[in-house]
């Protein structure tokens, strides 16, 4: 009985939190340069898988959401200093990042990263690999002891391969899928299983908001709408 | 924008281009030119004010004030711009929020620094997270103006300090002989005459300021370089009605023309100002003017 009362009290408290949050404005930070995850469309607005996902999550959590563009390099410092409240930018959940910020449960399963090169017989271990700075891919290449060149934007990593500055580019497969075939770029057969799925990043002190988004992601997982969204934008494998 | 733009894939040539150049994204690009020019027009006088204050302070006979002026120019000039723009602005923003927090939420018990996080109460946020996006953008812009002014003010202070010392001592002595006070000598004799000595340094600073505007994007303001990078990037048919390859070269060439025009116009304006200020001065240019007029 005592247990029952306690859990009712706990429930009431959580309900109270949920109520306090409803209608609040939450600012979502994204990069806007990583199709199909997030990009700027012809009208100049943020679009893509994460735009739709974020809007739907906010609807379910009854939050008013505002989108903010921020460079990838400074996306975590600006979150912890409070310029926006959540990162939703195709950010893989890693231990290093988890020390600085908190993550929700992943909204896409862990997917392998792929290579793109000008010919199919390139060996990444022997050549120069391009990757976006401070990504799991850049960390991976450095860890292997291969030669890595880092660029601030995904677009520049592709341009480096086309210009011959790098032999291959390592990135999320879904992003590279949008680039295959342009100017003779081909995908290598080799894949790397890195990263632990993609989640939303939040301040460590913001536990409430994390629980709210966690619950919203769970409800989208449960009714299958998350899988539909993943299929629509071809960002990852499904749950 | 135009009625015929509903299906761009059927268009060709100039009609396609007219649709392409009037997308919402391009409007953002054009607007960013205005942003950059407005930033320059506001920052230049404010930085000059900072510089004037810094130089006057450094010249002061009151030791703490002169130390303050000298420390300001020495420290700010020594720190690399990029470091200043990345860390100083976040620190400045946090300092504002910290002060507001102390005023608005005196009963707050939790610490403001929680690990890596900087947490102030909701009412102390600057701007409030409920404010519309344009207020956030204006705030970012204002922070940018302030930061640019502090950085360039330090350089301007050094230029003006040098200019004040370049005014011939005989001019000041004559003023004293006429019985002017120190303050009168400063405002009536020294300040009007120092500009001609400061001008070459100030025009350099202006040119550097013009070229430093791409740092705006570090502060979250979308400037012309950001948009040129974004618009020039490869667009695939899946995500855009106007697919194209990598057009960075074209967009950056446009920026090159813009910057060259801006600097060439400034160059001409500075030339005219120099001519005006040389009038009646005890400098070679002033002497040449006097001879030509005879």
C-alpha distance from A176 to closest chain B C-alpha (Å)? 12
pLDDT at position B67: 94
**B136: three-class secondary structure by DSSP:** helix
Long-range contact pairs involving B241-246 (C-beta distance under 8 Å, separation at least 24): B241/A42, B241/B8, B241/B9, B242/A42, B242/B8, B242/B16, B242/B19, B242/B20, B242/B23, B245/A182, B245/A183, B246/A155, B246/A159, B246/A162
pLDDT at B1: 63
Chain A closest CA to B111's CA: distance in Å? 11
Distance of CA B24 to the CA centre of its chain: 27
Q: How far is A80 from chain B (nearest CA, A)?
A: 5
Least CB–CB distance from B230: residue in A40, A48, A178: A40
pLDDT of residue B241: 86
Please answer yes or no on whether B222 and A69 come within 8 Å at the CB atom.
yes
What is d(CA B26, CA B231) in angstroms, rounded to the nearest whole number?
8
Which three-class secondary structure string do you get for chain A?
Answer: CHHHHHHHHHHHHHHHHHHHHCCCEEEEEECCEECCCEEECCCCCEECHHHHHHHHHHHHCCCEEEEEECCHHHHHHHHHCCCCCEECCCCECCHHHHHHCEECCCCECCCCEEEEECCCCCCCCCCEEEEECCCHHHHHHHHHCCEEEEECCHHHHHHHHHHCCCCEEEEEHHHHHCCCCHHHCEEEEEEECCCCCECCEECCCCHHHHHHHHHHHHHHHHCCHHHHHHHHHCCCCCC
Residue ranges of chain B whose CB lies within 8 Å of a chain A CB: 23-25, 27-28, 86, 90, 93-94, 97, 114-120, 125, 129-130, 133, 136, 217-218, 220, 222, 229-230, 233-234, 236, 238-242, 245-246, 248
Q: Closest CB to B27: pick one of A44, A158, A159.
A: A44
pLDDT confidence bin for A202, thresholds 50/70/90 = very high
* Beta carbons of A178 and B24 less than 8 Å apart: no
* Residue A17: predicted pLDDT: 41
User: Cβ(A31)–Cβ(A84) under 8 Å?
Assistant: no
Average pLDDT of each block of 10 consecutive residues along chain B (294 residues)? 77 86 91 92 95 93 93 90 80 88 84 82 82 85 90 95 93 94 93 93 94 80 88 86 88 94 94 90 85 85
The pLDDT score that the predictor gives to residue A112 is 86
| Torsions phi, psi for A149 (to 5 deg) | -115, 130
Could you tell me which residues are beta bridge partners of residue A39?
Answer: A33, A47
In angstroms, the CA B69 to CA B59 distance is: 8
With pLDDT > 70 as the criterion, what percentage of chain B qualifies? 100
For residue A1, pLDDT beyond 50: no
Q: What percent of chain A has pLDDT over 70?
A: 90
Which of B24, B114, B245 is the closest to A43 by Cβ?
B24
> Inter-chain contact B233–A162, Cβ cutoff 8 Å?
no
Best A33, A51, A83, A98 residue to mutate vs chain B (most B CBs within 10 Å): A83
How many whole angstroms separate alpha carbon A22 and alpha carbon A16? 10
Could you give the maximum distance between any two Cα atoms of chain A, in Å?
71
Contact B227, B29 (CB under 8 A): yes
Quick one: how far is CA A55 from the chain centroid?
15
The predicted structure's pLDDT at residue B285: 85
The Cα B116–Cα B94 span in angstroms is: 13
Is the pLDDT assigned to residue A20 strictly greater than 80?
no
Interface touch A35/B220, C-beta < 8 Å: no
Query: Whole-angstrom Cα distance, residue A32 to residue A87?
Result: 12
pLDDT at A179: 86
**Considering all CA atoms of chain B, what is the largest pairwise distance in Å, rounded to the nearest integer?**
83
Q: How far A2 CA lies from chain B's nearest CA (Å)?
A: 31
Angstroms from A196 CA to nearest CA on chain B: 23
Neighbouring CB atoms inside 10 A of A90's CB total 24
List CB contacts (< 8 A) between B27 and chain A: 44
CA distance A189 to A222: 34
C-alpha–C-alpha distance, residues B163 and B152, integer Å: 16
Q: Is residue A214 very low, low, confident or very high in pLDDT (cuts 50, 70, 90)?
A: very high
Per CB-CB distance under 8 Å, the chain A contacts of B229 are 153, 155
Residue A111 has pLDDT above 90, yes or no: no
Nearest to A153 by CA among A171, A177, A129: A171
Sheet holding A38-40, edge to edge: A33-34, A38-40, A46-47
Tens-place pLDDT, residues A181-201: 878 899 999 999 887 889 999
CA-to-CA distance for B118 and B108, rounded, in angstroms?
A: 14
Contact A42 B246 (CB under 8 A): no
Cβ pair A203, A100 in contact under 8 A: no
The C-alpha atoms of residue A37 and residue B15 are separated, in whole angstroms, by 31
Split at pLDDT 50, 70, 90, the class of A2 is: very low
**Whether the Cβ atoms of residue B84 and residue B154 lie closer than 8 Å to each other:** no
Query: Angle A49-60/A207-222 helices, nearest 10 degrees?
Result: 100
What confidence score (pLDDT) does residue B263 get? 92
Residue A50: how many other CB atoms lie within 10 Å: 32
Contacts of A72 in chain B (CB under 8 A): none
Report in angstroms the alpha-carbon separations of B50 from B31, B67, B81, B150, B154: 28, 15, 17, 7, 7
Describe the crossing of helices A2-21 and A207-222 by its angle, rounded to 10 degrees.
Answer: 100
Choose between B106 and A147: higher pLDDT.
A147
CA distances from B202 to B57, B261, B269 (A): 19, 19, 13
pTM for this predicted structure = 0.81
Asked whether residue A9 carries a pLDDT value surpassing 50, the answer given is: no
pLDDT for B65 equals 94
Residue from B61, B53, B224, B256 nearest B150 by CA: B53
Average pLDDT over residues A47-53: 94
**Of B25, B229, B248, Cβ closest to residue A43:** B25
Q: Would you list which residues of chain A are within 8 Å, Cβ to Cβ, of chain B?
A: 24-27, 32-33, 35-36, 39-45, 47-48, 66, 68-71, 74, 77-78, 80-83, 85, 100-101, 153, 155, 158-159, 162, 178-179, 182-183, 203-206
Q: Enumerate the residues of chain A whose CB falls inside 8 A of the CB of residue B220.
A: 68-70, 78, 83
How far off is chain A from B239, nearest CA to CA, in Å? 7
Give residue A23's pLDDT: 56
Contacts of A219 (CB under 8 A, 6+ apart): A60
Strand ranges inside chain B, DSSP E: 113-114, 117-118
* pLDDT > 90 in chain A, percent: 57
């Amino acid at each position: 009985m005592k247990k029952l009362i306690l859990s009712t009290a706990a429930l009431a408290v959580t309900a109270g939190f949920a109520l306090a949050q409803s209608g609040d404005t939450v600012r979502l930070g994204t990069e806007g340069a990583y199709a199909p995850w997030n990009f700027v469309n012809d009208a100049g607005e943020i679009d893509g898988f994460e735009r739709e996902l974020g809007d739907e999550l906010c609807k379910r959590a009854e939050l008013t959401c505002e989108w903010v563009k921020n460079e990838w390099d400074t996306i975590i410092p600006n979150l912890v200093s409070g310029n926006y409240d959540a990162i939703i930018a195709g950010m893989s959940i890693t231990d290093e990042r988890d020390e600085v910020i908190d993550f929700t449960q992943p909204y896409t399963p862990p997917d392998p990263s792929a290579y793109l090169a000008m010919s199919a017989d390139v060996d990444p271990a022997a050549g120069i690999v391009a990757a976006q700075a401070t990504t799991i891919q850049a960390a991976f290449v450095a860890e292997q002891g291969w030669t890595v060149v880092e660029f601030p934007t995904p677009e520049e990593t592709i341009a480096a391969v086309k210009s011959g500055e790098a032999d291959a580019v390592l990135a999320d497969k879904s992003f590279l899928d949008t680039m295959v075939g342009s100017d003779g770029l081909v995908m290598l057969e080799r894949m790397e299983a890195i990263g632990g799925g993609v989640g939303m990043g939040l301040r460590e002190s913001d536990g409430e908001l994390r629980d709210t988004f966690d619950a919203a992601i769970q409800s989208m997982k449960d009714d299958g709408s998350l899988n539909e969204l993943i299929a629509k934008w071809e960002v990852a494998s499904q749950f | 924008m135009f009625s015929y733009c509903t299906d761009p894939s059927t268009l060709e040539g100039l009609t396609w281009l007219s649709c392409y150049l009037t997308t919402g994204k391009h409007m953002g690009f054009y607007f960013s030119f205005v942003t950059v020019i407005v930033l320059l027009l506001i920052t230049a006088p404010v930085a000059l004010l900072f510089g004037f204050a810094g130089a006057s302070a450094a010249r002061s006979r009151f030791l703490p004030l002169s130390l303050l002026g000298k420390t300001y120019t020495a420290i700010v000039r020594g720190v690399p711009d990029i470091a200043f723009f990345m860390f100083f602005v976040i620190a400045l923003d946090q300092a504002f929020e910290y002060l507001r927090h102390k005023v608005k939420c005196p009963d707050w018990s939790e610490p403001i620094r929680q690990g890596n996080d900087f947490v102030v109460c909701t009412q102390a946020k600057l701007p409030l997270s409920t404010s519309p996006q344009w207020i956030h953008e204006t705030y970012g812009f204002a922070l940018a103006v302030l930061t640019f002014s502090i950085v360039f003010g330090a350089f301007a202070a050094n230029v003006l300090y040098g200019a004040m010392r370049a005014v011939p001592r005989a001019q000041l002595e004559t003023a004293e002989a006429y019985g002017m006070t120190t303050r009168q000598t400063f405002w009536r004799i020294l300040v009007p005459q120092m500009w001609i000595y400061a001008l070459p340094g100030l025009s350099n600073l202006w040119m550097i300021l013009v070229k430093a505007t791409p740092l705006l994007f570090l502060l979250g303001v979308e400037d012309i370089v950001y948009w040129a990078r974004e618009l020039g990037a490869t667009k695939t048919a899946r995500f855009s009605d106007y697919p194209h390859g990598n057009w960075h070269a074209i967009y950056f060439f446009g920026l090159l023309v813009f910057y060259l025009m801006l600097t060439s116009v400034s160059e001409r304006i500075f030339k005219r100002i120099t001519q005006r200020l040389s009038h009646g001065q005890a400098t070679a240019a002033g002497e040449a003017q006097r001879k030509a007029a005879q």
